[in-house]
Amino acid sequence: MVVKVRSIAQVRQLLGQPELEIAVPEDATVHDLMAHLAHLGGPQLAAIIAEPKEASAHAPCRIMVNGRDIGVLEGRSTVLADGDDVLVFVPIAGG
C-alpha cells in the first residue's frame, strides 16, 4: 500500500522534498513509517522524529494522519491504510 508523507520546515529540508509517496507493508504503523523516514533523512532527521524516551516527554516533531494528531489516535501504534495522508513537522513556538 502507499501513503503520502508531507513535511514542512526543517523536516522538509532534511527529506529534500515537501511530499513523498512511500510504499509500506499492510498493517504498517506510524512507528514503522517513522523508521523508514529516519533511514531516508539520515541521523539528523532520525533525532527529530525519534520517539520520546519517557512517556511524559514531548516529541520534537508532530505527526498527523489524515488531519488528526496521532495523540488522539493510537499514537505511533496507529495502523496506516492505503492512501493515508501523513504530515510530519516541528512545531514552531513564538510570541
pLDDT in tens, the chain (95 residues): 999 999 998 999 999 999 999 999 999 999 999 999 999 999 999 999 988 777 666 778 999 999 999 999 999 999 999 999 999 999 876 65
What is the structure's pLDDT at 59?
72
Helices (H), the chain: 9-15, 30-49
Question: Where are the chain's structural domains?
Answer: 2-89
**Whole-angstrom Cα distance, residue 20 to residue 63?**
15
Residues in a beta bridge with 29? 79
The second-level CATH assignment, the architecture, of 2-89 is Roll (3.10)
What is the structure's pLDDT at 31?
96
Specify the length of the chain in residues: 95
**Whole-angstrom Cα distance, residue 23 to residue 26?**
9
Residue 61 φ/ψ region, left for φ over 0, alpha for ψ in the -120 to 50 degree band, beta for the rest: beta
What is the structure's pLDDT at 51?
86
